[in-house]
Structure 1
Amino acid sequence: MKRLSVCMIVKNEEELLSRCLDSVMRLADEIIIVDTGSTDRTKEIAGEYAAKLFDYTWCNDFAAARNESIRHASGKWILVLDADEYLAENEYDKWNEFLNNAQSMDYLAYTMSVINFTGDKKTQEEISTMPVTRLFPNFKGIYFERPIHEQLTRGQHGELYHKQIALNIYHTGYQTQRVTEKNKHERNMSIFNEMKKHDSMSDYDWYTIGNEYRNAGEVEEAIRCYEQAFKEKYSKLAWYPFCLVGLISLYSQESRWQRVEELTNNQLSEFSDYADYHTIKGIQYETMGWVDQAIACFIDAINVAEQRASNDQEIWLVEPAYSFEKPVLQLVELYFQLNDNQQAIYWLSKLLHKNNKNPQVLLKLVEWLCQNESPDSVIILLNKIYDVTDKSNCNLLFIVSLVLGQAELVKYYVKYIDSLDHLSLLDQIRFAVILDYKEEGLALSSSDQQLDVDDQLQLWVQTAVGAIRWNDYSGIIQIKDEFKTDEISKLTELIVSMITKEHLPDEQDLKSHSSSLFLVAKQLFLIKDFEKFDEFINFMRSSELVNQLANYFYKLNLTEMAMNYYSILLSEQQLDFTSLINLGRYHVNHHYYDEAVEFFSEAVKLEPTTKSLYYSLIRHAKNEQKAEYINKFIADFPDFVGITFVDDFLHQEKELILY
């Protein structure tokens, strides 16, 4: 008997079908494809893999189509896949071990994790998981029911049990582009609407229709459906924690924090032996400004995940990121807020050791290190994390060094690069500017590439840095003429004015374009052309630009520079919201509580809805001010007073006033 039959239903899947079939060829004894009306090359591709192909007229019923596919299966085991799913080659041993050794029983099907890549770009995915039952024994009377989000059943032969196993299916079907191409939401909703007409919606169906609304961004409808699914308590069912965490996420998005706490404390707490619970709890504390409590929760999440891993248990409940990446990233931000840079860098390094291919984490770490350590020390640290004999590692380190304008690192890692021919125009200009190659840089100041608005601006910024460094604005003129955007045209006028000294810039133009001008100033600083940096700031100065620079220096632990800028802004009463918060945190961290309260109070005046500042305001205010801030918080945020830890805090602070 054949061992494994892979059964699929498809329609117009030429884009992804080959990837799916490639991933199962070494495991499957036969591939059965039911086609529901393809008009592209889907059938031709299926033929190239010797698949058994059957035509089927679509009747708006996924279960019927699935059953048609398994009807033709002759293997001992059936694995059901979609064309936008695939198996990982490095997990073949696990699949073979299961298929060779598991005993097929007529009452048991197997559940595994589908790992979903849901981001807008293939290189910038968001990752989530979902349990699905897709593997089951053939010839045991097991079949599908329900027209959408179909489920396996034994019908009248008794209950079908589901057992979780450590196998994975990978899925990209809900990436934004794919959803748009296939109109999945509209198709699925038409089936659900038909089911609702016949009053045949189960609690699981309400959960799945909630997923449809959530994917479509219809938050209130998603919440309504999830709550409908929650009428009964199904904590032992595989879909229950996903529905619960999804509901908590949506209520958090809507700032309905009392309901978030209720669900977390009453339902999610049942899963406190998973990292997800502690990470979600930490996010709630952080949102309300309870930094110490948030840090404790995030550390608990990491410890719980490590303990489960050491016991060879499933590490996360719903979200892989909740077990390490999310709590670590939150810890990094919180420790930076506390000016505990040593702890922040420690956790960033931990994150990079776990996944050294993450460019955003590498950028953040190297940017900070380059402003606080010598280039040699940074290189020594990076070489402990990366094998420089690996070309992909060297390319990554080289590009990050380019982006951060670090000439010493660029010179070091370029020695390990075979060729610079693969560099984009943007990176070629960066390379020329950083190493002060004027002739080469000016020759690169035009492009035939089709770039989006953000990439156009990045190209202009690097060219503008070269123009300022070399007192030659021909490159940015070429870019202005090529891209013809209002932003780039106005920015070019400002840079030309600076170089030619023909006239002073308009104050309103400086304010309107301060964010783009900040990018230029930042690059001049990073490449250590401090003379041109000072000249640029003096010419382009606005309170908006100075605030951005002060906050940037503060983030990099360049405290003296940041405070010099903050002093100027304070004397001119031009501190913005972020500057006020940074100064408030700085003074709290150094135990100057009266000054901290003044800065936080001014920040609240600028952004009255910032509830997270009230914890520090109330905690550190003198007694005569405490009552004022407590009353204001209660009046402005009545929905948050009912949160348990907020209510406890307010009662404690009120008692302090009395005594």
Structure 2
Amino acid sequence: MPAASPTLAAALIVRDEARCIVRCLESVRPWVDRMVVVDTGSRDETPLLARNCGAQVHHMPWPDDFSAARNHALTLADADWALVIDADEWIDAGGEALRRWCAGPPRLGAVCIHSSYDPPEGTPAGGALPEGRSWIPRLLPRGVRYAGRVHEQPDSPLSLARTGLHLGHDGYREAQAAGKRGRNEPLLRRDLQDHPGDPYLLFQLGKDAEVRGAHDAALESYGPALARAPMDAGWRHALVVRTLHCLGQCGQLETALDLAERELPAWQESPDFFFVLGNLLLDRALADPAQAVGHWLPLAGTAWERCLAIGERPDLEGSVTGRGSHLARHNLEVLRSQLARFAA
């Protein structure tokens, strides 16, 4: 008899996700054998909506530990493979490839998560939302479990490979993020007590502060994270770009430009690096009007031209859609129109 096909389950932990749980489960249902939802204390209709979508719904008190909750969901899933997905995510592309992936050997499957953000203030209505991309291990073979109270990671020696699965994510939009603000910081600080100086935890703590607009606080974590981050860590790209951005937001332009000069050899093919560098050079021009037209603004233009020459790099951790295309092109058009006015 032919061997049975590997089983695949979706595993979710949820609380008060009535806004989006149906979207998530409807996107997942065609590709998995079952959907397991662990509710940690919803006060809305999340459990009912999940059941109506065909999910098995279980309940547990919130353990103040994301790994503990995820591991409970994985145990209940009891499948050869588990797709770990959040309620504010959905399968955007690649679902048809899941079965082929699961027919292969055990390894950790990284999926590409496309996170949308609110546009910067003053952006014309109707345009595309800014989008960041991250590759995160979410397709796990049986027996793999998580570690870490927050920003949990699979605790496994298995190799990591990228799948063809793409997830949309809107949980960073202001309307959604407001209710969860401040949730992660105490958990990250507890993890740092257990693992002092861990660069990945410091990076996540800084990112948590940055998304709240606390750029000074973010730098307090990004600085030591950058000093300790392995050069080959995939998330180091996002750390460098975010650090440069926060330095610019805090007016530390010289420090930012010094860091950019040191990091330049490593990021010759990163549109995100050159996009943020262009922004820093523009800020430097505003701070030094006497040399703006003759020095700083042309340098900013060169940085944005480099973005377009590189193009989009969705493979880079934390890359933002548009920095290798329309966002850089827009900045260049504005810059050139302003330089033409000075020359007139």
* TM-score relative to the length of structure 1: 0.46
Give the C-alpha shift of residue 23 in structure 1: 1.3
Give the C-alpha shift of residue 80 in structure 1: 0.7
**CA deviation vs aligned residue, 1:180-225 (integer Å, no higher than 9, x gap):** 2x3x232212323433454556221111111111111222111011
AA at the equivalent of 2:150: I
Aligned runs of 1:291-330 on 2, under 5 Å? 291-305=297-311, 314=315, 318-330=319-331
Identity of aligned residues (%): 22
CA contact (8 A) 1:245 1:318 kept: no
AA at the equivalent of 1:169: L
**CA deviation vs aligned residue, 1:257-291 (integer Å, no higher than 9, x gap):** 22212222222531212222332333333332333
**CA deviation vs aligned residue, 1:157-195 (integer Å, no higher than 9, x gap):** xx2332234432111112112122x3x232212323433
Cα separation, partners in 2 of 1:57 and 1:200, compared to 1, 3 Å: farther
CA contact (8 A) 1:316 1:323 kept: no
Residue 319 of structure 1 aligns to a residue whose secondary structure is strand
CA contact (8 A) 1:130 1:242 kept: no
Give the C-alpha shift of residue 333 in structure 1: 0.4
CA contact (8 A) 2:17 2:46 kept: yes
Give the C-alpha shift of residue 150 in structure 1: 0.6
AA at the equivalent of 1:254: C
Residue 80 of structure 2 aligns to a residue whose secondary structure is strand
Aligned runs of 1:21-100 on 2, under 5 Å? 21-88=25-92, 91=93, 94-100=94-100
CA contact (8 A) 1:273 1:304 kept: yes
CA contact (8 A) 1:274 1:316 kept: no
Q: Comparing both structures, which one devotes a greater share of its residues to helix?
A: 1
Residue 18 of structure 2 aligns to a residue whose secondary structure is coil
Rounded Cα–Cα distance in structure 2 between residues aligned with 1:258 and 1:294: 15
Cα separation, partners in 2 of 1:123 and 1:12, compared to 1, 3 Å: farther
Rounded Cα–Cα distance in structure 2 between residues aligned with 1:100 and 1:165: 10
AA at the equivalent of 2:97: E
Q: Comparing both structures, which one devotes a greater share of its residues to strand?
A: 2
Rounded Cα–Cα distance in structure 2 between residues aligned with 1:249 and 1:130: 18
Pairing partner for 1:276 from 247, 267, 272: 272
Pairing partner for 1:203 from 196, 199, 217: 199
Deviating more after overlay: 320-329 vs 109-118? 109-118
Cα separation, partners in 2 of 1:55 and 1:222, compared to 1, 3 Å: same
Matched, 1:152 2:151: no
Larger radius of gyration: 1
**Structure 1, unpaired ranges of 5+:** 340-581, 591-659
Residue 241 of structure 2 aligns to a residue whose secondary structure is helix
CA contact (8 A) 2:181 2:212 kept: yes
Residue 140 of structure 2 aligns to a residue whose secondary structure is strand
Rounded Cα–Cα distance in structure 1 between residues aligned with 2:236 and 2:271: 17
CA contact (8 A) 1:316 1:322 kept: no
Rounded Cα–Cα distance in structure 1 between residues aligned with 2:318 and 2:209: 22
Rounded Cα–Cα distance in structure 1 between residues aligned with 2:28 and 2:192: 37
Aligned runs of 1:201-240 on 2, under 5 Å? 202-240=198-236
Q: Root-mean-square deviation (CA), in Å?
A: 2.5
Cα separation, partners in 2 of 1:283 and 1:234, compared to 1, 3 Å: same
Rounded Cα–Cα distance in structure 2 between residues aligned with 1:273 and 1:293: 17
**CA deviation vs aligned residue, 1:562-612 (integer Å, no higher than 9, x gap):** xxxxxxxxxxxxxxxxxxxx5xx1xxx24xxxxxxxxxxxxxxxxxxxxxx
**CA deviation vs aligned residue, 1:321-380 (integer Å, no higher than 9, x gap):** 2111221011110221233xxxxxxxxxxxxxxxxxxxxxxxxxxxxxxxxxxxxxxxxx
Which residue matches 1:422?
none
Residue 31 of structure 2 aligns to a residue whose secondary structure is coil
Aligned runs of 1:131-146 on 2, under 5 Å? 131-137=135-141, 139=142, 141-146=143-148
**CA deviation vs aligned residue, 1:388-444 (integer Å, no higher than 9, x gap):** xxxxxxxxxxxxxxxxxxxxxxxxxxxxxxxxxxxxxxxxxxxxxxxxxxxxxxxxx
CA contact (8 A) 1:131 1:239 kept: no
Matched, 1:115 2:111: no
Residue 323 of structure 2 aligns to a residue whose secondary structure is helix
Residue 138 of structure 2 aligns to a residue whose secondary structure is strand
**CA deviation vs aligned residue, 1:301-328 (integer Å, no higher than 9, x gap):** 212117x7xxxx8488622221112210
Rounded Cα–Cα distance in structure 2 between residues aligned with 1:165 and 1:212: 27
CA contact (8 A) 1:5 1:73 kept: yes
CA contact (8 A) 1:275 1:317 kept: no
Cα separation, partners in 2 of 1:98 and 1:195, compared to 1, 3 Å: closer
Give the C-alpha shift of residue 66 in structure 1: 0.3
CA contact (8 A) 1:87 1:170 kept: yes
Residue 87 of structure 1 aligns to a residue whose secondary structure is strand
**CA deviation vs aligned residue, 1:505-559 (integer Å, no higher than 9, x gap):** xxxxxxxxxxxxxxxxxxxxxxxxxxxxxxxxxxxxxxxxxxxxxxxxxxxxxxx
Rounded Cα–Cα distance in structure 1 between residues aligned with 2:333 and 2:139: 41
Matched residue count: 325
Which residue matches 1:7?
11
Rounded Cα–Cα distance in structure 2 between residues aligned with 1:150 and 1:291: 42
Which residue matches 2:242?
246
Cα separation, partners in 2 of 1:185 and 1:70, compared to 1, 3 Å: same
CA contact (8 A) 2:234 2:317 kept: no
Cα separation, partners in 2 of 1:115 and 1:268, compared to 1, 3 Å: farther
Residue 146 of structure 2 aligns to a residue whose secondary structure is strand
Aligned runs of 1:368-379 on 2, under 5 Å? none
Give the C-alpha shift of residue 228 in structure 1: 2.0
Rounded Cα–Cα distance in structure 2 between residues aligned with 1:130 and 1:109: 15
CA contact (8 A) 1:12 1:40 kept: yes
Give the C-alpha shift of residue 132 in structure 1: 1.6
Which residue matches 2:261?
265
Rounded Cα–Cα distance in structure 2 between residues aligned with 1:315 and 1:83: 25
Residue 260 of structure 1 aligns to a residue whose secondary structure is helix
Rounded Cα–Cα distance in structure 1 between residues aligned with 2:28 and 2:126: 24
Give the C-alpha shift of residue 49 in structure 1: 1.3
Which residue matches 2:339?
338
CA contact (8 A) 2:237 2:317 kept: no
Which residue matches 1:176?
174
